[in-house]
Amino acid sequence: MNVRIIATAAYGQLGPFKKISPGLYRSVSGRVHIVGEGNIGGKAEGLAFLDQNNFPIPGRTLFVADDFLGLPNVDIRDRFLLCQADLARINYLISAINMIGFPTPIAIRSSSTVEDQLGDSQAGAFHSTIFGKPLSPGAMNQEFTIALLEVLNSSYGYGRNAYLRRCFTEIPPLPVIIQELIGRQWSFVPNVFFPALSGIVNTATPDKVKVQTVFGFGEAAVRWGLGMVHEFCGDLQAQPAVTGQFNGEVCRLNLQTGLPDMPDPDFMYDPNKMSANYPEIVALYRQKAPELQRGVAQKAFALSQQLGKALDLEWALGESEVLFTQVRPIKRKKANMARPAVAPENIYFQTNKILGQGQVEVKNIIFISGEMSEVLSVMDDIRRICRQFPDSLIVWGTRVKPLVTRDILHDYLIHLAKSVLVWDYYGDDGLHHQSGPGTGLAHLALEIYDREKVIIYSDKSALVEQLLNLGRDVSESPSSSKGAMIEVKELPFTLQIAGDDESGWGLIYRNIQP
């Protein structure tokens, strides 16, 4: 086979990819290569589509098909199995990376066959990483192999595993992407590498395009929902509405260790730190906004119109232009959702701090409290209880940092219950540790919309007490000896949780039938 044509559900036929050496193919543009004959996965299909349509993408991208490394399908019960790869094939992969001319550093990204599918994005469910050392013979190849296996092993991880949630009997090998990393070194911050600006652009809302911008790598945007959001309406020519705030620190690559350098979450909420530590980058943002964001919005809108689908794209500012590093088709949202007419006496709580768009009914409340380490130690109990009481509202009262709460919501809670109430609290330091919905464009938001669930945020301890007093204790409800508390309350009636983050309303109420 001298030419590969790839058939996809989301993008039609992609290709041709011409064979340039045994098992190695190249796109017409020369920017994208494929090694192997098998599936390339959803993320790679999206990048191939961008390449085929002459979208600005990184200059070098290599798709590693799921058959190339010779990994077998794995029984679902071996969820912690460490992948064993053929070193000869890894050496061939390294040779291909060097032959294509990848610069240092590179990204190693997952591209599962269940990722980035319409209505089931699995956003953030698999691992990606950065490798910041030259690929030369010797120890560096061992470090690259370890980084590659970390990505491959995310198929078997507990909690972040899409396959486990789908109840597959076998886990197929994971396709991966080797991608040129967008960014540069900065004279005022030695030995680090990151782009000045990056973010997300989303066309899910009718007649609107939202562009999220963060400083540094996009982890702060896609994982934690931080940054500034420019919301363009209509023909995209009017001045956008701007919300959000600067992230207080940058996600970056440490060139000395070759590893990602993730900031302390405490610093991510302090925009004054960004202005103090990175004044050149803040000045660049102010110089380019909002026209840079408008250009991003226009490209995303045109592509969305071409495909006839709502899209979510990730982008980063290169040396001279914005480059797109990922695209996924997503569910189109409603312009607005009608707020139900409910008598005031039947409303337990109303707020504008809401993530999601929909309405769910719950018959039980599962209250989880304790310190983070205590709660993680009883996560198996939490999973078992949620399976036993599936029609539940989880009330999350655990004292953790807000960004950690978003990780826990994404990795665990939204897959275990119909809805989640995040109870913000005043910590021992006297500060209000608000989690909040963030920008509404992060991976967590995509998962919420896919599953038509709702997250509500409140700092009202009286609300939590009121909800818990509504139900009766379930005898199976355990009080953990490890310090965490899990209480299960059976409600005497069905409780409704509804909300629309586009219109800015959320309700917890009792639906009284006439």
* pLDDT digit string (tens) for the chain, length 514 residues: 799 999 999 999 999 999 999 999 999 999 999 999 999 999 999 999 999 999 999 999 999 999 998 876 654 444 444 456 678 888 899 999 999 999 999 999 999 988 888 888 888 888 899 999 888 765 568 888 888 988 888 877 654 454 445 545 567 788 999 999 999 999 888 899 999 999 999 999 999 999 999 999 999 999 888 999 999 999 999 999 999 988 888 999 999 998 888 877 666 777 788 888 899 999 999 999 999 999 999 999 999 999 999 999 999 999 989 999 999 999 999 888 899 999 999 999 999 999 999 999 999 999 998 877 788 788 888 888 988 999 999 998 876 667 778 888 887 788 888 999 988 654 444 444 456 788 889 999 998 998 889 999 988 888 888 998 998 888 555 555 467 888 999 999 999 999 999 999 999 999 765 4
Residue 436: predicted pLDDT:
76
Residue 169: predicted pLDDT:
56
Residue 137: predicted pLDDT:
60
Annotate 127-166 with DSSP letters as a single string. Answer: --EEE-S---TTHHHHHHHHHHHHHHGGGT-SSS-HHHHH
Instruction: Name all domains of the chain by residue range, CATH numbers in brackets.
Output: 3-181 (no CATH), 186-330 (3.30.470.20), 344-510 (3.50.7)
For residues 87 and 89, give the distance between their C-alpha atoms in angstroms, rounded to a whole number.
5
Look up the pTM and report it.
0.92
Residue 437: predicted pLDDT:
83
For residues 483 and 294, give the distance between their C-alpha atoms in angstroms, rounded to a whole number.
50
* Other Cβ atoms closer than 10 A to 18: 13
Q: Which residues pair with 131 in a beta bridge?
A: 106
Residue 329: predicted pLDDT:
96
Q: Give the CA dihedral 44, 154, 212, 317, nearest 10 degrees.
A: -60
Residue with tokens 């919309």: 449
